[in-house]
Every structure is written in C-alpha cells, then in structure tokens.
Structure 1
Amino acid sequence: MIAPQRRLLPSIASLRALEALDRLGSATAAAEELNQTQSAVSRQLQALESQLGTTLIVRERKTMRLTPAAAEYAATIRGALQVIAQASLKVQINPRGGSLNLAILPTFGMRWLVPRLPDFAARHPEITINMATRLKPFDFASEPFDAAIHFGNAEWPGTENLKLKTENLLPVCAPKVLRDVTIAHPRDMLDMPLLHIETRPKAWAQWFESYGVDASGISGTLFDQFSTILQAAVHGLGVALLPDYLVQQDLADGNLVVAYGGPTRPLGAYYLVWPVAKSGDSALKTFRDWLATRAEDEDPLPR
C-alpha cells in the first residue's frame, strides 16, 4: 500500500514544467528552457493535473496560463526545486559530504572573511564552502542557504547567530580634499562634499549627532556598494564614512586620511546567522566553531 504522502509527490519533470510555465509565461519558452518539445511539456502538465485531481492550466487556443491556485503552487515549489538542485550539486561536488552554502556581504566577505578561509580549508579539507553575495535581507525559507553573513543588530526571527565584528566608521577622504580646508569642529564637515552609502542611510546624521551637531537636511552623492564609495573617496570626490577594517590599508599607504576625529560609536555589527532548523548540521557547526575563534568578540554558541 502506498502511503498518502507518496501519492501526493508528483514527478520532478512535471513540477519543473509547471514552474517554468509560470516563470516564463509560455509553453514555447518553457519547452526551450527544459530542452523538450511543447507536446512533452503539455503531457507533463496534464499528468500533474490528473494526479492532483484539479485544473491547473487554462488553455485558450494556442496559449496556456496558470490558474491563480496553480500560480501559488508554482511559487511554493520553486523554492523546493532550488533546494533539490542545490542538494544534487552538493553530492556531485563533494561526494563525501560536508558542504556549506553561505551568503555573504560582498565587501566584508572579500576583505574580512576570504583572507581567513585558507586556515579553515587547511584544517577541514572535507568541507566545501560555496559562497554567493547578497546585499539585501532574504528569507532562508526561499533561498538555498545554510547560513549567511549579515550586518545589523541580531534581530532575525527563527535564527541563531554568532557576532563576528563590530563596525566602527571613520570619516575619510583623499589628502587633496583637505588641502585648502581647515576642519576645526565637526560642524565644519557640513560644508564638505559628503559621500553616502545606501546600506547606511543614517550614518552621517548619527555621526554629526554624536558631536551634538544638527545635520538635518544633509545631502551628498549616494553609492550602493562600499567598493565604489571607497574608490570615490580615494579619487577625491568627497568625505566618506567607511568601516575601519576597509580603509586600514589605504590610510597606511597615504591614499586616504581621517578628516576629523576617530572611529564612531558602533552602528551595528556583522554576524554569522543560521536558521534554528540548521543548528545541528555538522558542516555548519564545524564552520561556526572555527569562525568563533576568529571573531572579534567572544560569543557563546549558540545564542
């Protein structure tokens, strides 16, 4: 006797056909992506409707479109198909097991994490780390990641975390920007061309506020990544508030100077974050235990 849950598990081929039709909008495009004929895609969709006992496709002349219920179904299975594909890739790349899918912030990942990874690779050659960059928050339920490195205040529901590094910001610029300017007080910075980063929209306002300076209505050029705002500062476009870890080398080389004062009070921190459901994953546990020895602050695990 077949268990009820098994009877409700359609073939991967039919699910892929439905998902592709929903995403691409036509049977022709779905067939081309799946490297199949349109008739094969149509048969898979008919088989899926028959198995589920419900209409999924509205057929009008030579076109197909999903019913509202089918579109919702396709959106749900899309994440499951991604998980299956990622799991299959894991087995191919590392048949001994032990791979970890990690989302990273591009600048922090490249400047802070990647230089430390050779040590992890030497200690744990059995674990493969696959990395992808993500600038904005995401849902672990909809993306195939085991863990992520994020910036904030450790407020992610359904997760546990390890604090890696507190972010302190320095106001920096190219030496030539200050050549004919005297910055005797933080309020003098209001007359400078200020460079802003999209992910820290209130950073300058908080910097001025920490000195008791009203900075309402401040403006300036906006950048979406630290890599571009860093280059803008180096080339003399203005003063930028940048993480101390990011500007250390340019300060040492003389490409940048501190415009005024020292590091700000912490605006947030970088964390390794993982879903509670993944806490027992052996590769993740090995990685976070190793990372805890490289973190700026000692944190109990898990927290």
Structure 2
Amino acid sequence: MTTPLRVGVIGCADIAIRRMLPAFATSPDIEIAAVASRNLNKARDLAEHYQCRAVHGYAELLELDDLHAVYIPLPAALRPRWVEAALRTGRHVLAEKPLSTQYTCTRDLLELAASRDLVLMENIMFIHHPRHAAVRHLITDGALGELRSFHAAFTIPPLADSDIRYRPDLGGGALTDVGIYPLRAALHLLGPRLDLIGASLAQGAGRQVDTSGAALLRTPGGVTAQITFGMEHTYHSAYELRGSQGSLTVDRAFTPPADHTPVITLHRGTTTEEIRLPPHDQVAATVTAFTAAIRTAAPPDTDATLRQSHLLTQISRTAPYTAHTNGSPRKADDH
C-alpha cells in the first residue's frame, strides 16, 4: 500500500476550510499533517477537527521535517513569497490561483520548481471536470462546424466590505479573482495561442480595486474569445461556443457542486439536444491530479499557466480603467 503524502496547509482561508481540507481528508493519497495560521486559535480549531498539528506561523510550518507537500491558499499578494519558501525547502506545492499577479514572478516560480524536480500546481479546479473534455471532443468531432467564437462570463454578488478581495495591498480585484476563470476556459478550449485585442476594467463606487471587466481575444485562425467578469453582480457562471453549423452552452461552468448533473446544451439548426453527464467532484479530481503528478514525477503542463499569467498581466497593465461614482463612470488618471 502506498504511503499517503503528508500535506501542510499554510493559512486558514475560506476556500481551504470549505473545499480543500474536506477533499484532502477524504483522499486516500493525502494525510493532513499540519495547519498553520498567524492566529494560533484558528489553527487549533482546524487542527482539532482534522486531528493534525496546529502551527503558529507560516515559517514554522516549513520547519517541520515530515511534510511532503504544502497547500497555500493565502491572498494573491502573499502567495509568491510562501510558494518560493516552500519550494526552497523541497516541498511540492499546490497554490491558489493565480500563482502571482505578475508574469515574470509566475515564470520564475515555475522555473524554480522545475529546477528542483518539484510539482508546483495552480489550483484551478474546473479544468479537471470531464464536462470540458467532452466539449473539446464535440468541437474536434465537428459538432459545431467551423468554430467562430467563444463567450464566457463569471460574475458573483457583492462581498462583505471587509473581504480581502477588496484590498489592493493583498492583490484583490475582480480580474485575478473571477476573471481568471473565463480566461482560463478560453485557453483550455481554444489553445494557448490567444492574443489580447482589447480590455476594460471598472472600479465600483467606494472600491480601491477593479470590480468588473471584459476582454476580447483572438486565435491566429480568427476565432474570437469574449470574456466578462465581476464581483458586484448577479451570479453567472457559463460559456458558449458558436460555429458555422451549431452552438453549445455550458451553465454552472466553473464551480459546480459535486452532486450537480452537468449538462452540455447543443443547438443545431432548429434542434436542441441536452447531453447529460454523471455528477463529478472537481475538487477531489484536482487533489487526485496533484498527487498523481507527485507520484509519477510528471509535473503538470505549465504552458497554459504561463500564457494565462501573461494575459492577466497584459489586461491589468493596458486596460482602460474607469471608476464609478453614483453609477456614472469617470476615466481614472492612472492604473
């Protein structure tokens, strides 16, 4: 029997508590060894639930000598420092997305992992759901004819004012929090050779970060990809592909519950077909992909991660930026 990988968790973020720790606990390949927090009581509460060690401080966790891997759900601005520190102690790393908010930093972290034969994986879970592989097969099999365009959106309702995603000093903002999903979906389905044509970011009233945005991209073959995102909206999580002979839509595309029956709706002419697939737990699938990469010494392909990082950086640096006051936009002087 294969010995479980002992994993330490750096930070008690909401996604760790709601999603990843339960998935680690039910995986036969993972043993939760320790949970670290700057708040020792918080670490103790989680550690007691999962019967593991509580550690006061992130550096202290990395000093433990019995960890194989580390999971890092820290805010975006803090993530690179601790990803690098974990890699330099010889641990494999699963980190929340994006790995960093700058392309050069993401590239350097991936190169560091490769130089030490370590797995560094960005925690984008939806790409491990089989529904998107089924969509790829439909495209390849010509179900839509010649592909023309891709449209994707991910928007969520307003967050609590105290939420870290509204804090610029912690790397907050809609682009890196929710915009990454439709952007990665475009790369996942259309391939890495997407070029940015134009983009826009907007800042909600009283906010110090972007709260919504959109981007237009294009493949060398002329297929366009339009993405929209925001975090002060009604909830929407979907994409649509259109071709010369048909189109398909995928709803609840990015964060479906494990018991959700995934549906691909295919439109051709006057007919509509619903392709139903078995429910699938994409969180568990992500954990499986991470442990498999470590077991087989075959790190995941990083091309999409690098291209995604490059495009995120491009959008952030070049998008016209507006701030909204009482619902009326005004051009910001600098972004």
TM-score over 0.5 (shorter chain): no
Higher helix share: 1
- Structure with the bigger percentage of strand: 2
TM-score of the two chains, using structure 1 as the length reference: 0.32
TM-score scaled by structure 2? Answer: 0.30
Q: Which has the higher contact order (CA 8 A, sep 6+)?
A: 1
